[in-house]
Structure 1
Amino acid sequence: MMQRIDSILFINPENPKEQAIFNFRTWCMLIEGIMVKYANKAPEEASKILENSNLYKCLLEDIRNKDYEGLFFYQHELEYHWAMLLTYGELYWHKGISSIEPEGFDNWESRYIKEHNLAALSFINLELE
C-alpha cells in the first residue's frame, strides 16, 4: 500500500508552469472522517471502504504515473460527495441520502482538519509565472 503523504506535486507535461499539489493524506482522512461522522461507519470500516474502492485504486495509479490530467477527476467533487458515493453507491441521492453537506459541516471539517493536523485543502492549483 502506498504511504499516505501530503504535498504530492503534479506538473502538466504540456505546460510545466501549470502545477498542482495534491494532499493525499488529507483527502483520504477527510473522506474517512466524513464516513465515520455522517454515515456512522467505524474508523476501520471507513478505511477499508475507501482502500477497497476502484476510486482509490485508480487514484493510486494516477499518483504513481503523476497523471496531471487524471488528478482533476478527483478534484471536481467535494470530499463529502466521495464519502457518500463510497458508502451508499452510485446515485446515492436517489436513495434519500442528501448530496448537500449537512448543517454544521464546515465547522466539523475545520475542527477535524485541525485535530488531525491536515492540510487546509486537498488540492492546490498553481500557475507559475
Structure 2
Amino acid sequence: MDIVDGLVFDDAGGGSVVFNYRTWVEMLCAVMCDYAGKSRQESELLVASSAVVKNAAASHMSVVLCSHELEYHWAMLIAYGENYWAHGIDPTEPDGYVEWEQAYRRRNGLADESFLYIDA
C-alpha cells in the first residue's frame, strides 16, 4: 500500500477512521530526529523497516491500534525498542511537545491529525 494521507477504513458499526498515513510516517521520522537524536537518514531507515509502520494500514483494527498511542511513543519504540522506558528513556512527551508537533505539521504541510474518527 502506498504511504498517502486520506485512507478510509470502515468499521462494522458504520463508523470509519481516516488514516493520514503519510503524515503519521513523517511525524515518526521528525520525532526521532528531534527527540531521539537520530539523523534524518537513520530515522527514515528505521521507520521503513518497522513492522508497526509496514502493517499500520493493513486493516481497520491495525489503524485503530496505531491511533491509541501518540507518535512520540511509536517513534521512541522504533528508535529504542520494546520497553524503552525501562532503559532510561522517558515515555512522557517532553514539555513543549504538543506545540512543536503542531508547528512541525503546519510548516511541512501535513494533516492536523494523523487519525480522524467519523461516527456513523
TM-score calculated relative to the size of structure 2: 0.94
Q: Specify the alignment match of 1:24 in structure 2.
A: 21
Amino acid at match of 2:112: A
Question: CA deviation digits over 1:40-62, x for unaligned, max 9?
Answer: 111111011011011122225x0
Percentage of identical aligned residues: 35
Once the two structures are TM-superposed, the CA of residue 70 in structure 1 deviates from its matched residue by 2.2
Q: Specify the alignment match of 1:111 in structure 2.
A: 103
> How many angstroms apart in 2 are the aligned matches of 1:48 and 1:114?
24
Q: Specify the alignment match of 1:4 in structure 2.
A: 3
> How many angstroms apart in 1 are the aligned matches of 2:54 and 2:115?
18
For the pair shown, which has the larger CA radius of gyration, 1 or 2?
1
Q: Specify the alignment match of 2:116 in structure 1.
A: 124
* Paired residue secondary structure (1:9): strand
Q: Specify the alignment match of 2:45 in structure 1.
A: 48
Once the two structures are TM-superposed, the CA of residue 32 in structure 1 deviates from its matched residue by 0.4
Question: CA deviation digits over 1:70-120, x for unaligned, max 9?
Answer: 221111111000000001111101111000000111111111000110111
Structure 1 residue ranges without an equivalent (≥5): none
Amino acid at match of 1:125: Y
> How many angstroms apart in 1 are the aligned matches of 2:89 and 2:2?
32
Aligned length: 120
Question: What is the CA RMSD across the aligned residues, in angstroms?
Answer: 1.1
CA contact (8 A) 2:55 2:62 kept: no
Q: Which runs of 4+ in 1 moved over 3 A?
A: none
Structure 2 residue ranges without an equivalent (≥5): none
Question: CA deviation digits over 1:2-35, x for unaligned, max 9?
Answer: 43211111112x23x2111000011001110000
